[in-house]
Each structure stands twice: as structure tokens, then as C-alpha cells.
Amino acid sequence: MSDIATYNFAYLDEQTKRMIRRAILKGIAIPGYQVPFASREMPMPYGWGTGGVQVTASIIGPHDVLKVIDQGADDTTNAVSIRAFFKKVANVAVTTDTASATIIQTRHRIPEHPLTAGQVLVYQVPIPEPLRFLEPRETETRKMHALEEYGLMHVKLYEDIARHGRIATTYAYPVKVEGRYVMDPSPTPKFDNPKMHRSPALQLFGAGREKRIYAVPPFTSVVSLDFEDHPFEVQTFDQPCALCAAENVYLDEVILDDHGGHMFVCSDTDHCEKRREEGHRGHLAPETHLAPGNMEPAQ
Amino acid sequence: MTDEPLLRVSALSKFYGSRVGCDNVSFDLWPGEVLAVVGESGSGKTTLLNCLSTRLLPSSGTASYRMRDGQFRELYRMSEAERRFLMRTDWGFVHQNPADGLRMTVSAGANVGERLMAVGDRHYGKIRATAVDWLSRVEIDEDRIDDEPRAFSGGMRQRLQIARNLVTGPRLVFMDEPTGGLDVSVQARLLDLLRGLVTDLGLAAIVVTHDLAVARLLSQRMMVMKDGRVIESGLTDRVLDDPRAPYTQLLVSSILQV
């Protein structure tokens, strides 16, 4: 690799990586607490995962296997670009296979395949402060976290029920970590919230523009906030995936034509392909196995 | 009722650099008593109120509050967490401008329910029932419960602010010009409502106002302030009917007669 010489390993300089690692360690020591860090300019715009990329760059080693997903898919622009970025600047192995990845950088989904001990899930976070839309002052929200004043979070849920008859928040659903800090799980669908609870994988959250890192260590309790008479519920789907017939997974609606045709398919593309390879067929699956586009082969 | 005061204030002073906010103010407030603080603008009324409600820290002096367990606690030695807890449970603060005391972008019901949720209430049905009850007590129609205070008139906002403060059953309420900016008929109804609530709930209150009529209607005792000092204090009727200090005489004689 001749072009790797122009970059330090994994793009960031070593001092920056040490600074970010310190923030990560502090985040792991205080689960759910937002640690400020000196976020760097990255060769991509804010909002495209600069926080997640910095966290990944700080923890990745030459023997890691990286998977990047965007809304569950391995083949969307953001996922392909970030995967190519680390292939170039760190020369690491990349994969789309959840089980064989050691680091999974994600934008807004947790893979359907259960994560295992030793894996690290890196979330890209746009707005790390769960209280932000209720209390605009950062000085005040920090004080509220420090003093554990979380009544306001329930005001938001109360508003949902008053307006919609149920808790209508479907993503970025606030959680309480290890009985202490209220945390924004990043805009993952609330369907994924139960997967965070006592997960054997380490979960790291990076918000580049907002300059915050937070973490959920393995086997940490993550409880979704709710009311006694309106308990937390995940989304349910009344039909299985149209391609692989999977049930109890998170589905995306895909528009097929201009005449109202649509289908629901797995948002996790890796999970869907694996199932089709195993022979599962949904009602809209083609007869022969559909080869995925121009994706990198699994390592 | 006990023989002990609810709040003991001793030699409280607040200086802004070399300027005087309030100077050497001492008084006791008993449970169920309404104390009016009157004086012209700039006389230190609001500074005093902000110091007492711990929104400002005084330059010198002490204030101790009798907690629900009967123990006196020095307000300015409490931790911030304890003070904030007191603020949202045992105390209320009614701002002159309701927008300062309300969350304007969440519904009336959530405004009333916020304090309940802050102290750990997690049952939506019960919170809502309490909100409905309190809205009716401050004469707001039940069908306005899901409206935002932005859609309310000034008088309704002020009544909503009062309900929001009283929902946790506080023992002491601070009011900063509670009727300021309202027209006289709305003022009259609000005063009537406040008087009823204060009597029914046995609230102690410190009401800052420049309006002597408000002081006359609401309070049993009053303090007159000028240039940061208390120049006269006593029973409201006595002070208003027989003012002793020259400035109080001027103040009382300045009331417009219609």
C-alpha cells in the first residue's frame, strides 16, 4: 500500500487518538455520561458520522475486522464510503458479516444477529443530549444530569400520550443507563432498545459536531423510560419480510412503482441475505438468488 | 400550627458591587401568613425575593427554613440539589411574566404535571387526573388541558402558572407582581382566586408588589422598602391606614382614586 504512507494509521494522529481513548475510557467508567472531547475536523461533513469515525479510528487496530452499516444496510453511500475510508487509511479487513466483525460502526440500527462479547458497536450520534429539545440551555441540561433531575423527560412522554393516545416516540427513545444517566440511544428505532440492555458487546457513541462521547459497557442495564399505565413497547409488523420471510425483525418500506406498490423488507441487509442463502423465501423474492450489487466479499 | 416560624431571615444584604440591592433585612414568616413587600421600582423588592428563593445568593446575612421534619435549615448552606428539590416540592415561585414560569411549548396538562413527574410520579392516568383537578381549581376549562400556554390569554397563563406551582402542595410561595400586566377585571378575579387558595391550603406567601391594593387584599402583614432598606413594617391595615414613615405616607397618598 503505497498511498497509506501519506496518512498516520487510521487517519488521526496519535495524540488525538490518545485524547479520544481517554474520553472513551471515562465514558465506559461512567455509563451513559456524555464526555466532552476535542472533536477534530474529518474529511467528511458534520452529520455524516464524524463522531463515529473518530471513535472507530481511535480503537481500530490492524487485526480488526470492520463492518459499517447505514440504517441497517451495508451497501448505502455512507456505509460504503466509511468502509472504503478505513480500508484506505488503516488497511484493515472489512466485512458485511455481523458475526465475523470485531468493530461495527452503525448509523441508526443495531444488527439483527445477536452481538457477542468482544465486539464493539460504534454509533454515529447527531444530537447526544436527550433533554435538548425540552431544555435548550447546555448549562441547565448538564446540571439536570448532575442532579439526576429527569422529570422533564417524562413531560415529553406525557405530551406524546396526551396528543396521540400512546407514546409516539419511535426513534431516539430515551433510556436510563445502569439506573443513573438518561441517555439518547442515537436515532435508532425503539425496536432496537431492548437489544442494548445487558448486551455482551461494548457500545460506544460518538457525536462529532456536538463533541461528545458516551458509552454503555458490556452487560449494563439499559431501560427505556415509560409510564406505569403506558409501558414501553417496540414496533410490531403485521407481515414478514417480503424477501426472506423473517419475522420479529425491523422492516423498511420500499416503494416499488408509481402506482402505490410497496413491500416491507429487512432493514438489516446482511441478515436478509443470510436468510435467503439458507433458503428462506418471502412472497416477493425472485426465484433465483439475487446477487447483491457491487459489495465487497465477506472476509 | 406551631409556635415556630416557617422562615427566619436575619440581616440579609445583597450588594451589586458598590450598589445596594437590599440592605440588612430581617423578618420572620409564620405558616399560613401572607407577607407583602411593597415599594417603588428599584427599592430592592425583587432582589430580596430572589435572595429568599435562593435564585440569588446574598452578600451577607442568613435565612433558615423550617423543613417538613420540623428542623430549621440554613438556606445558603444547603447543597444545590437540596435547594432545587425544595424549589420544586415545598416552594413555589410565581413570576410576573408567566412565560418565565411556564414551558410555553408543552401542553397545559404537562405544565401542571411536570412537578409531579419530577418527584417520581410515573402513572399517566393519575398525573392527568391531578392536572384536570388543578385546572378546574384555577378556573381553566378541562378541554383546554392539551392546549399550549401560547394559546392562552395573559390571565389564563397566570392562573396556569399558579396551578403548576401549587400541585405539589407547597408550604411557601414566592410571588413577584402576580397581577402585573393584567387588566383590572382579570386582576380582581385572580386576586379572588389567590385569596381563596391561600386560605384553603394554608399557604405562606411572600408577595412582592408595587400595587398597594393587591397588598391590602392578599396580605396580613407588609414591609415597605426604599433604597434597599425596610423603612416600615406591620399589619397591612395598620400600615395602610396609619402610615408612619414619610415615604409610606407619600406612597399611600399616591393611590389613584377613581
pLDDT in tens, A166-223: 999 999 999 999 999 999 999 999 999 999 999 999 999 999 999 999 999 999 999 9
Grid cell locating A192: 432496537
- Percentage with pLDDT > 90 across chain B: 74
Any alpha helices (H) in chain B, and if so which ranges?
45-52, 80-89, 98-101, 108-118, 124-137, 154-166, 184-201, 212-218, 236-241, 246-253
Residues A48-58 have a mean pLDDT of 96
Contact A155 B117 (CB under 8 A): yes
The ipTM (two decimal places) reads 0.84
Q: Which three cell numbers stand for residue A261?
A: 406498490
Which chain A residue has its CA at the smallest distance from B107's CA? A159
Chain A CA closest to residue B118: A151
Strand partners, B175: B94, B207
Residue A257: Cβ within 10 Å count: 7
Amino acid in the structure at residue A26 = K
Tracing cell 428542623 back to the chain, one arrives at B71
Contacts of A136 in chain B (CB under 8 A): none
Chain A residue with Cα closest to B114 = A155
C-alpha span between A75 and A11 (Å, rounded):
23
Q: What is the mean pLDDT of residues A61-86?
A: 94
Q: pLDDT, tens digit, for every residue of A23-36?
A: 999 999 999 999 99
**B204-209 and A202-207 beta bridge pairing:** unpaired
Distances (CA, A) of A139 to A136, A143, B145, B191: 9, 6, 31, 36
pLDDT of residue A288: 57
pLDDT, position A294: 43
Residues of B in contact with A152 (CB under 8 A): 114, 117-118
Is the backbone of residue A58 left (phi > 0), alpha (psi -120 to 50) or beta?
alpha
Domain locations in chain B as residue ranges: 1-90+170-258, 102-169
Distance, CA of B45 to CA of B224 (rounded, Å): 9
Chain B contact probe: residue of A158, A224, A225, A229 with most B CBs at under 10 A = A158
Pairing of strands B7-16, A262-266: unpaired
Rounded Cα–Cα distance for residues A214 and A124 (Å):
11
pLDDT at A221: 97
The answer to whether the beta carbons of residues B65 and B13 sit under 8 Å apart is: no
Say yes or no: B103 contacts chain A, CB-CB below 8 A: yes
Contact A162 B118 (CB under 8 A): no
Query: What is the pLDDT, as a whole number, of residue B202?
Result: 87
What distance lies between CA A140 and its chain's CA centroid?
A: 27
Distance between CA atoms of residues B162 and B194, nearest Å: 8
CB contact under 8 A, B114 and A155: yes
**B-interface mutation test, from A140, A147, A157, A159, most B Cβ less than 10 A away:** A159
Q: Which of B82, B100, B104, B122 to mutate to test the interface with A (most CBs of A within 10 A)?
A: B122
Spatial distance between the Cα atoms of A75 and A272, rounded to a whole number of angstroms: 13
Cβ contacts below 8 Å, chain A against chain B, sum to 56
pLDDT tens digits for B151-197? 999 989 999 999 999 999 999 999 999 988 788 888 888 888 888 88
Instruction: Suggest the residue from B84, B86, B112, B124 to mutate for an interface test with chain A (most A CBs closer than 10 A).
Output: B124
Summarised one tens digit per residue, pLDDT across range B100-152 is 999 998 999 999 999 999 998 999 999 999 999 999 989 899 999 999 999 99
Nearest to B225 by CA among B86, B79, B36: B36
Mean pLDDT of chain B: 92
Is B112 strand, coil or helix? Answer: helix
Instruction: Identify the burial level of A46 via C-beta atoms within 10 angstroms of its C-beta, where 0-12 means exposed, 13-18 middle and 19 or more buried.
Output: middle
Looking at the complex, does the CB of residue B117 fall below 8 Å from at least one CB of chain A?
Answer: yes
Is the C-alpha dihedral spanning A28, A29, A33, A37 positive or negative? Answer: negative
By three-state DSSP, how is residue B246 classified? helix
Interface contact flag, A162 B114, Cβ < 8 Å: no
Do B159 and B131 contact (CB within 8 A), yes or no? no
Q: Calculate the CA dihedral of residues B106, B112, B117, B119 and round it to 10 degrees.
A: 140
| pLDDT score, position B185 | 84
Question: pLDDT tens digit string along A221-240?
Answer: 999 999 999 999 999 999 99
Query: Are B124 and A158 in contact (CB < 8 Å)?
Result: yes
CB A162 to CB B127 under 8 A?
Answer: no
CB spacing of B114 vs A163 below 8 angstroms: no
Closest C-alpha to A131, from A185, A176, A182: A182
In 3D, which of A181, A151, A172 has the Cα closest to residue B110? Answer: A151
With CA atoms as reference, the chain B residue closest to A135 would be B103
- Residue B145: closest C-alpha in chain A: A162
CB A48 within 8 A of CB A68: no
Name every residue in A having a CB less than 8 A away from some CB of B: 134, 143, 147, 149, 151-152, 154-156, 158-159, 161-163, 226-230
- CATH number (3.90.45.10, 3.40.50.300, 1.20.1250.20, 1.10.540.10) of B1-90+170-258 reads 3.40.50.300
| Residue A163 to residue B80, Cβ atoms within 8 A | no
* Residue type at B187 in one-letter notation: Q
B254 backbone dihedrals φ, ψ, rounded to 5°: -85, -5
Q: Is B125 on the interface with A (CB under 8 A)?
A: yes
State the SS3 of chain A.
CCHHHHCECCECCHHHHHHHHHHHHHHHHCCCCCEECCCCCCCCCCCCCHHHHHHHHHHCCCCCEEEEEECCECCCHHHHHHHHHHHHHCCCEECCCCCCCCEEEEECCCCCCCCCCCCEEEEECCCCCCCCCCCCCHHHHHHHHHCCCCHHHHHHHHHHHHHHCCCCCCECCCEEECCCEEECCCCCEHHHHHHHCCCCCEEEEEECCCCEEEEECCCCCEEECCECCECCCCCCCCCCCCCCCCCCCCEEEEECCCCCCEEEEECCHHHHHHHHHCCCCCCCCCCCCCCCCCCCCCC
pLDDT band at A295 (very low <50, low <70, confident <90, very high): very low
Cα–Cα distance for residue pair A283/B60, rounded to 1 Å: 78
Residues of B in contact with A226 (CB under 8 A): 122
Closest to B52 measured CA to CA, from B20, B100, B12, B18: B12
B26 and chain A in contact, CB less than 8 A? no
Which residues of A have a catalytic role annotated? 32, 241, 244, 266, 272
Nearest residue of B to residue A162, measured between CA atoms: B146
Q: Mean pLDDT for chain A?
A: 92
CA atoms lying within 13 Å on the CB side of residue B20: 15
Mean pLDDT of A106-130: 96
Cβ pair B102, B147 in contact under 8 A = no
Q: Which of residues 132-151 of B touch A (CB under 8 A)?
A: 145-146
**B102 Cβ under 8 Å from any chain A Cβ:** no
Cβ neighbours of A151 in B, within 8 Å: 88, 114-115, 117-119
Nearest chain B alpha carbon to A150:
B118
- Please answer yes or no on whether B118 and A149 come within 8 Å at the CB atom: yes
Q: Is B3 on the interface with A (CB under 8 A)?
A: no
Cβ B113–A149 below 8 Å, yes or no?
no
